[in-house]
Amino acid sequence: MESTAKFTKSMVECSLLDKELGRPFKPGARREATPEWDKDKCVRCGLCYVYCPDGAIYRAEDGFFEADTDKCKGCGICHRECWFGVISMVKED
């Protein structure tokens, strides 16, 4: 039995590439909470950097670690893995 649906490749592409629907994708766009470091307690060991799945944590110029908000997805692994409990997840509005 032949399929009655006749979607051609070009039709599908047209609907997907509609500029009204399309918008640039940013991995960190749907984040619920952002990690924040308590710089008084942080010893700058770098464990949060090692365990970040998205590679969002980088070392700033002052030696402390920060999260790139374009990449961070707010999973909270750094918050769990920090030995000193320095990282807190702050909810965004």
85 binds another protein (CB under 8 A): no
Which of 11, 12, 14, 50 touches another protein (CB under 8 A)? 50
DSSP string, the chain: --------HHHHHHHHT-TTT-----GGGG-SEEEEE-TTT-----HHHHH-TT--EEE-TTS-EEE-TTT-----HHHHH-TT--EEEEEP-
> Counting contacts by CB under 8 A, is residue 22 touching another protein?
no
Contact with another protein (CB under 8 A) among 34, 51, 69, 88: 51
Binding footprint of another protein on the chain (CB under 8 A): 25, 27, 31, 43-47, 49-55, 59, 63, 71, 73-77, 79-81
